[in-house]
Chain A
């Protein structure tokens, strides 16, 4: 199995498209960090405009944690696209290139191949999230320094700087779980297609579409909404709420895990009986 995974990783990292994801994250994080460095005071003024008369602000409000929090908010829109770009190509890319004829006529198990490919794709997704974490926190520390984190949602939460590292670690860990769900969805679509464009677009369109439906038409979907995985993609934000937020985390994690197992189960079932016609 390790041999299969290493082969799949080698293939992933030999393709130029793999580096689009890393490049995009570097560019976006740097652009946001320097944008905040130049315009941060103005932006912060707008954010706290409604509450500045009732609160007194002291210390370094625009700090590495605030910047990392902003980047987390921004990039969870982009990272699923980057994950789908690679995960959607894992099986469909082989079909499109005709290389299934080379590998599946050798004495290897289709189920093992599916797992090896998924694990390799998952490692890529983890690397994207870790790169995002290192860049946003590392460069943020150099440019802005530490400080307490002010989170303004429907209420104001202030987190002390010595209470934040574990929250960010948790948020990124949850982010990895979310991206695993995205990768599993894209991978499932990839098993059903002979061209990677369909799974990539299908994943992005699916996530965006379901999110819009569940947001705009929440009342239509009613109780179903809480069982749709897209509702839990932004649940990393629970780490930046009070204890009641963390209590909801277990449900979010459970839903994500159920979808991952479900998507993988369908992938294995479908791919085992798939006729290789490409």
Chain B
């Protein structure tokens, strides 16, 4: 099966500024694909080019195996999108907004479908209130509802949890996961909230200053890096003595009365754990310190140095 999104050497220049610079990426059917980068890295520009809102300076965008430049209607009819802020016709109700957008997408049984998507995002009780009275969280959910309206195979979400409180962020994340799992919808989600991507995405790309830094499976990328792990121990002095003259000594970063911090690969954690237990050390907890956040910062910092 063709990748749902295939981008080759995409660039967008505004005069001397390279907003997107020779970017290539691939989103496969069934993915929840994380599109990561710091603010101003070119994520939104790339997404806007994918949706034909911005013309690329050069490069090619294939959606569902078709060239967006020559097959815009057929490709866009299979995509739902929520780009940046969830903006609507504020003087109309949620239902009227969805009806207008549904007509543009030629949806049959529109009224039924509008009720369905309002139900999916939990907005039925407020469906007839004008959007101006909605909270940001409700607007985000309405944004996802409009993206779902025409039964898309792919949904593109640009920073969908921006500005939401933790509860709202979790609700959106749960909704995205359920759409992927239950409705078999492929999802591209951009974010600078890396924890979010680590929580829900299976594949990801990290970009900075318009360039791709790394692309691949989220867990592989995280696991390929050494991570910091803190072992919470009953007696750190005894543990340090035990580890002395073993290969683990070289992996110790620091220690205090309660914890010893190691820089080790994920696969090595059980071995170290076993070694300590077999030598009668009391282990109260093993805490991951390193995360995608560090990985992201490390990789973007490396890029700046280079």
Contact = CB atoms under 8 A, between A and B. Distances in A.
Nearest 9 A/B pairs, CB to CB: A98-B87, A276-B53, A107-B73, A275-B54, A105-B51, A107-B77, A107-B76, A106-B104, A101-B83
Contacts of B55: 273, 275
Interface stretch (A3-11, A24-32, A74-82, A223-231): A3-11
Given A97-B89, A103-B101, A105-B53, 4 more contacts: A15-B91, A98-B85, A275-B53, A277-B48
Contacts of B72: 107
20 contacts: A4-B104, A7-B100, A7-B104, A11-B89, A14-B89, A14-B92, A97-B87, A102-B88, A102-B146, A105-B76, A105-B83, A106-B105, A107-B77, A107-B106, A108-B104, A273-B55, A276-B53, A276-B54, A277-B48, A277-B54
Contacts of B73: 107
B103 interface: yes
B48 A276 contact: yes
B90 interface: yes
Contacts of A107: 72-74, 76-77, 105-106
Given A275-B55, A276-B53, A103 B87 contact: no
Interface string B150-166: 10000000000000000
How big is chain B's contact interface, by range? 20 to 34
Given A105-B51, A275-B55, A99 B104 contact: no
Contacts of B81: 101, 105
Contact of B76 (A4, A99, A106): A106
Interface size class of A (residues with CB under 8 A): 20 to 34
Contacts of A276: 48, 53-54
A7 B103 contact: yes
B166 to A, nearest CB: 25
Contacts, number: 70
Interface string B48-77: 100111110000000000000000111011
A97 B132 CA distance: 12
Nearest to B72: A107
Interface string A13-27: 011100000000000
B53 A104 contact: yes
Nearest to A275: B54
Interface of A: 3-4, 7, 10-11, 14-16, 97-108, 273, 275-277
A8 B100 CA distance: 9
Contacts of B90: 97
A99 to B, nearest CB: 6
A16 B92 CA distance: 12
B84 interface: yes
Contacts of A277: 48, 54
A248 to B, nearest CB: 45
A111 to B, nearest CB: 12
Contacts of B85: 98
Contacts of B92: 14
A277 B48 CA distance: 8
Contacts of B96: 14
B117 interface: no
Nearest to B90: A97
A98 B85 CA distance: 8
